[in-house]
Amino acid sequence: MQERLNQLQEEFKKDLQGSKTTKELKNLKIKYLGRKSTLTQLFAQIPALPNDQKGLWGKKLNLFKVKINLALENNVKIEDREEESLDLTFPSASCQEGSRHILTTVNEKICSIFERLGFAVIEGSEIEDEWHNFEALNIPLEHPSRDSFDTFYLDLPAKDKGKYLLRSHTSPSQIRIMKKTKPPLAVISPGRVYRPDEVDATHSFMFHQIEGFVVGEAINFAHLKGTLLYFAQEFFSCDVELRFRPHFFPFTEPSAEVDMSCIMCKGKKNKETKCSICKNKGWLEVLGCGMIHPNVLEACGINAKKYQGFAFGMGVERIVMLKYSIDDIRLFYENDIRFLKQFSI
């Protein structure tokens, strides 16, 4: 019996080396483990063996059976891998290519328009202190407009006084830059801002703004109007018009809100085909602006008698929503590929 087992083991070794395909390996399994195999015959002889031999032979034969199974399994795997690695025509696993987010694309487009006018792009700091976010911008502690700007405070005392907070607008960039750099200045400052707003179709606790400002000698409101008209006509369409509505911002005087003639109905206010974009008002609100308040210049150590400046601030989401007729701000942040893909370039 031992001799037959030895022969069988030798034969299996040779057969295994000679088998290449999955089919040949399957045939080996039948030959060595099938019902008519030598091994099955050997198992059948166990009951006739002397009692003290039965257990020993049971173990020996089972061990060989396990070895056969393992050898066949391993060879199948190796062979499959070889076939895969040799198939040079097999298509590669596809992976979806990403693209820039529409907010990034528009942000860069806006900045590049102002860069052509000579503005420098300087990012501010997302974590601000109360002085830069409020006081230096002529918003004292008791000012009512501070309520809607009161954002997320950090549990950390600021370096000078007050607390740190997530900035509620990009206007503090004005302060940081004016304190460090002497006029003349023309800067555009993009970035994220935070508000204590409930999320809905037009509000988000976080969105993006672009602040712009110019400081120099003899800067006046006409420079502001010319700059913003250039921007609107470059970005939206060469035939848009702007309307400056008096408004109040603590950091500018005089201040204005700027409306643009509706890009859909061109401000025609057609009564029969009511415009869904401007609701037949003919105008769309785009941004806030004004002449920098002397208190702001003085807070930065700039002589307000010698220098004047203008400033403006716009929400990037709002600009994108106007340009592409998007009616819900939440779409920008939900990562729905079907929405984002429409703007991939």
Binding site for ligand DAH (CB under 6 A): 169, 171, 211, 249, 252, 288-290, 311-313
Number of H helices, E strands in the chain: 11, 10
Distances (CA, A) of 310 to 21, 25, 223, 280: 80, 83, 8, 31
Which residue's CB is nearer to ligand DAH, number 12 or number 312? Answer: 312
Which residue's CB is nearer to ligand DAH, number 52 or number 147? Answer: 147
Distance CA 114, CA 151 (A): 29
Which residue's CB is nearer to ligand DAH, number 32 or number 249? Answer: 249
- DSSP per-residue letters across 75-100: HHHHHHHHHHHH-TTSPPPP------
| Minimum distance from residue 288 beta carbon to ligand DAH (Å) | 3
Q: Are strands 153-157 and 127-129 parallel, antiparallel or unpaired?
A: unpaired
| Minimum distance from residue 252 beta carbon to ligand DAH (Å) | 4
| Minimum distance from residue 171 beta carbon to ligand DAH (Å) | 4
Distance CA 182, CA 216 (A): 9
Tokens of 213: 């400002």
| Minimum distance from residue 212 beta carbon to ligand DAH (Å) | 7
Which residue's CB is nearer to ligand DAH, number 202 or number 342? Answer: 202
Distance CA 61, CA 58 (A): 5
Distances (CA, A) of 40 to 4, 49, 247: 12, 15, 97
Which residue's CB is nearer to ligand DAH, number 171 or number 204? Answer: 171
Name every residue whose Cβ is closer than 8 Å to that of residue 251 and which is 6 or more positions away in sequence: 137, 138, 139, 171, 174, 290, 292, 293, 296, 311
Which residue's CB is nearer to ligand DAH, number 262 or number 311? Answer: 311
Give me the residues paired with residue 247 across strands.
255
| Minimum distance from residue 238 beta carbon to ligand DAH (Å) | 25
Which residue's CB is nearer to ligand DAH, number 263 or number 289? Answer: 289
Contact 299, 175 (CB under 8 A): yes
Which residue's CB is nearer to ligand DAH, number 28 or number 215? Answer: 215
| Minimum distance from residue 233 beta carbon to ligand DAH (Å) | 20
Contact 309, 184 (CB under 8 A): no
Tell me the residue length of the chain. 345
| Minimum distance from residue 253 beta carbon to ligand DAH (Å) | 10
Tokens of 242: 């702007």
Which residue's CB is nearer to ligand DAH, number 267 or number 317? Answer: 317
| Minimum distance from residue 167 beta carbon to ligand DAH (Å) | 10
Which residue has the CB atom at the shortest distance from ligand DAH?
A: 313
| Minimum distance from residue 176 beta carbon to ligand DAH (Å) | 14
Identity of the amino acid at 209? Q
